[in-house]
Structure 1
Amino acid sequence: MRKWLPLTAVCIGAFMLLVDVTIVTVALPDMAADMHTGFAGLQWVMDIYALALAALLLGSGSLADRIGRRRVYLGGLVIFAAASLVCGLAGGPGALIAFRAVQGVGGAAMAATSMALLSASYQGRDRGVAFGVWGAVNGAAAAAGPIVGGLLTEHFGWRWIFFINLPLCALAVLVTLKAVTESRDPRAQGLDLPGMAAFTVGAGALTYALIRAGEDGWGSASTLALFALAAAAFAAFVLVELRGSRPMLDLSLFRSPAFVAVMIAGLLTSGAAFSYLMYVSLWLQSAEGMSPVGAGLALVPMSLAAFAVAAGAGRLLHGLPARLTIGGGLLLIGAGALLQAGMLDAGDSWPALVPGLLLTGVGVGVSIPSLAASAMGAVPPARAGMAGGVLNTARQLGTALGIAVLGAVFHAGLVDGLGGQPAATADALAAGGAGRLLAVPGARAWVDAAFASGLRETFVVSGALGLVGGLAVVLLMRRPAAGGAGGAGGAGGAARVPAPAGEPAARPQQPA
């Protein structure tokens, strides 16, 4: 059994990394009440973690190739543990948000090295088994997050969703030190620090602009200034990558329509399928009176459907063109969100969402297994590792931007549903304060109407994102990919769903 210790070390890290994406969702109302934070603060608690992951994934991979993957993985575990401790002890929203960002730094180091560590530790059939187990753990983590978060929040308090990481990190460090050997790329070059800085500023400014748009309006001076800063930073990033001697991202990859399609799919899969869950959780707990565990269980149908379908997709869908599985999956995600919008009325509760959540989960399970294989198959083999890192970045950025965009839509929908109520009422509802407002006689009717309006508009936008993404994938992947030499998907429409026991390049990089 000693040979499976490296797999154990990597899986513990992967489980924590992904659970912390979703575990916070059901704890948000308790955080808001305890820390007296508003809607924007809750968005940042979710967003900053995904933003740090997105901004640092490629840079962490480059650093690991240069100084050692085991060393960077261990560093990521230590940073993640320390940040989790401070998050659990945080006395205010500022400290919590800051150290959620530090958590994302540690998570990026762990995510960027997981596949490389497994590749270096196993060969042949053992490698296929290792990646199969790793993929299953990723899926289980996504499903377990809301339930684990609900249990910890309800029985021990929300701070324990962070404290629970400490013993897991300690175990992962011990097993890594004992069983994982060091590996690096002898041809690795230096870090692209200007590129990392420009991308981080651009992603952060864009997310902040979207959050401020929900508070101050799309045409406010602060919102427009942040959009301008984001545009300038992304333009600088493109220039740095084009002219730099050690670019973090080879922009020539985007000459392949198939690669562009997969990046769009990665971005919109996360944005359309998962970003609205925090607003659903706020509604279920603050307006419907559900416990954190109950809210977590109400969100599980999507995760279970995605896990079940993804587990069988490799066998059942093997051989189908990736444009059909990825594009079709996104269309199902969009249809699932629109189904939730159509079935939810004022006064309804969580059962109205279940059919749509299940349909969305099926779409996620159909599309995700072939995303990474298609990204790598659309580029030359020498760029396969970079392609996987870019896909991971797109998916995390999709989560961050999706939370910000849908937050603005949700808040606007609350205002519309409240009719003549003051704007401060919508702010209170968005921050989880429905319980206090429901003490007012006659408030139930307008609280229900406001949440129904806010969630319906959120689901409509999510559905539109899914449908647009699905159509873009189907159209772009019909065209031959330029420069996709030697990959499984050298032609955009020829990329196939990977077999379930494939080599690492055929494995999903990071399920949401």
Structure 2
Amino acid sequence: MAADDADKAGWPVLAAASAGALLCFLNLSALNVALPAVARSLHASPTQASWILLSYMLVSTVCILSFGRLADLWGRRRLFLAGLALFVAACAACALAPTAGFMLASRIGQAVGAAGVMANASALVSDAFGRRKMGLALGVLAMVAALAQVVGPLAGGFVVSWWGWRVLFMLNVPLGLCVLAWSCKVLPASPMVQAERFDLAGAALSFAGIGCVIYALSMAGPRGWTSTPVWAFMLAGAVAVVLFCGVQMRVASPLVDPSLFTDRGRRTAYAGILLLSMTQAAPLLLVALYLQACAGLAASEAGLRIAPVAVGMLMAAPVAGILLRRFRAETLCVGAMLLAGCALAFLGALLRPEMGGMQLSIGLWALGLGIGSFVTPNNASILQSVAPVRRGIANGVRSTLQNTGIMVGTALALSMALAGLSPGSQRTILGNGGATLSTADVAAFTRGAGSALFLLAVLCLAGAVLIACSRTPHPD
């Protein structure tokens, strides 16, 4: 009875965490559609326009790890509310931005606030529910992220077309204030950990390491993997990561507790989310670019064609949470990665200008089912295996690996897909050129994109084998 009462008290917390996460994810996905209007209105250069979009992912990824640790020390409720308040204020600043530079600074503020929300959402939900209902609750939270991927571009296109891009940001202000008021009311107080200090040296090294690696990956697509700046930033990031690991082994209160990686199951779960996240965004980008460049579809049509991925995630995430009551998390994760790998191989074999819409929808829907079926049990297995006082940093590590995997997979897949094309053809595919592709270019892009999809499929299958081989005996 006590567990049921605790679960009932957790639903308002889930509503608050889901609403906060929804605002952050909607903002990210909606700007993909609104960016051209923003760039034209603010007379942004191509570099400024790209960084208005990329800065959100870069800054939030860099901040999540430190914010996960701060949540354990300072209290999840405090950091969630502070992040949400900053996010709402930054949305208002974006809506009023007079210049591209001011807009970029406001987007960085949004990213910092969003990191405070995203670093705490899963941990807050895990704390609020008992073990029996935790999987379902985390599934609902994952479903919200998938819902944002469906609704964001559609809502963004509608709002920008009818009222302008500034309204898109301004709408977040009253909605965010409502979520903030509700969160203040329902989120339970969280104690501060007085015995431990925040690892400033570790935080600085993590900022430098993750920031340099993510920045290098963001440049790898347009500049190529052999570019000197790409390798310079990658090397600097690798050095910072090595120094970070050394610091974590020596300090009394590390930013990332090394004991998080001593458990084989948790270590494998972290490796699994890194591998799967590499296949999360890259296939959507490749298919969307291919449909526009080779099949001649408009951007809005291409967006609708790739929507089945998000629909599959939306369907699978809560179901996977329910199945956690009957099956082990590792079993569900292996099945999910096998499904995602088969779907990617199917898409790689299917890819051609005249491919059927129904076949494409089935392949993308199956991919979404695989991704959605993995995220919930993977998240639950990580958060259930650590003490509550370590859930913030445990989730921070998971989120950092997920975001890094998305960037790595996107950069790798894009470079493979464009490798056989001239710079002019690459600009045409990426939307910066006005020419049409020749028959030879279409064939080269088809081969490159197909090879990239097959590589992503291999990564999924490798992850399934890794998780299956590391399974521990089920406790009696």
Q: Same fold (TM over 0.5)?
A: yes
Q: Give distance in 1, aligned partners of 2:77 and 2:455.
A: 42
AA matched with 2:458: L
1:402 aligns with 2:393: no
Pairwise CA distance, 1:389: 2.8
Secondary structure of 1:219's counterpart equals coil
- Conservation of the 8 A alpha-carbon contact between 1:18 and 1:138: yes
Pairwise CA distance, 1:274: 1.7
Secondary structure of 1:272's counterpart equals coil
Q: What's the counterpart of residue 72 of structure 2?
A: 65
Q: Give distance in 1, aligned partners of 2:100 and 2:449.
A: 25
Q: What's the counterpart of residue 464 of structure 1?
A: 455
Secondary structure of 2:198's counterpart equals coil
Pick from 249, 253, 257 the counterpart of residue 246 of structure 1. Answer: 253
TM-score (norm 1): 0.78
- Conservation of the 8 A alpha-carbon contact between 1:313 and 1:369: yes
Pairwise CA distance, 1:267: 1.5
AA matched with 1:474: V
Pairwise CA distance, 1:495: 9.1
Secondary structure of 2:426's counterpart equals helix
Structure 1 unaligned runs (5+)? 416-422, 438-442, 481-490, 497-512
1:55 aligns with 2:65: no
Q: Output aligned runs, 1:426-441, within 5 Å.
A: 426-430=426-430, 432-433=431-432, 436-437=434-435
Q: Which moved more, 1:113-122 or 1:368-377?
A: 113-122
Pairwise CA distance, 1:373: 2.4
Q: What's the counterpart of residue 201 of structure 1?
A: 208
- Conservation of the 8 A alpha-carbon contact between 1:341 and 1:456: no
Classify 1:140/1:227 alpha carbon distance in 2 versus 1 (closer, same or farther; 3 Å): closer
Structure 2 unaligned runs (5+)? 1-7
Q: Which moved more, 1:335-344 or 1:152-161?
A: 152-161
- Conservation of the 8 A alpha-carbon contact between 2:10 and 2:125: no
Pick from 192, 197, 203 the counterpart of residue 190 of structure 1. Answer: 197
Q: Give distance in 2, aligned partners of 1:407 and 1:146.
A: 21
Classify 1:335/1:173 alpha carbon distance in 2 versus 1 (closer, same or farther; 3 Å): same
Q: What's the counterpart of residue 78 of structure 1?
A: 85
Classify 1:221/1:120 alpha carbon distance in 2 versus 1 (closer, same or farther; 3 Å): closer
AA matched with 2:231: L
Q: Output aligned runs, 1:200-349, within 5 Å.
A: 200-282=207-289, 288-290=296-298, 292=300, 294-316=301-323, 319-346=326-353
User: What CA deviation, in whole Å up to 9, does each residue of 1:329-386 have, x standing for no partner?
Assistant: 2232233233223222236586663232112112112212210222245567765553
AA matched with 1:290: A
AA matched with 1:467: V
TM-score (norm 2): 0.83
1:478 aligns with 2:472: no
Q: Which moved more, 1:208-217 or 1:103-112?
A: 208-217
- Conservation of the 8 A alpha-carbon contact between 2:340 and 2:371: yes
Q: How many residues align?
A: 467
Pick from 11, 32, 57 the counterpart of residue 25 of structure 1. Answer: 32
Classify 1:372/1:379 alpha carbon distance in 2 versus 1 (closer, same or farther; 3 Å): same
User: What CA deviation, in whole Å up to 9, does each residue of 1:109-160 have, x standing for no partner?
Assistant: 1122334545666779998886665454344334323332333344334454
Q: What's the counterpart of residue 510 of structure 1?
A: none
1:104 aligns with 2:104: no
- Conservation of the 8 A alpha-carbon contact between 1:334 and 1:462: no
- Conservation of the 8 A alpha-carbon contact between 2:334 and 2:468: no
- Conservation of the 8 A alpha-carbon contact between 2:320 and 2:377: no
AA matched with 2:250: R
Secondary structure of 2:306's counterpart equals helix
- Conservation of the 8 A alpha-carbon contact between 1:66 and 1:188: no
Alpha carbon RMSD of aligned pairs, Å? 3.7
Q: Give distance in 2, aligned partners of 1:91 and 1:495.
A: 60
- Conservation of the 8 A alpha-carbon contact between 2:344 and 2:456: no
- Conservation of the 8 A alpha-carbon contact between 2:150 and 2:307: yes
1:162 aligns with 2:169: yes
Q: Give distance in 2, aligned partners of 1:59 and 1:449.
A: 48
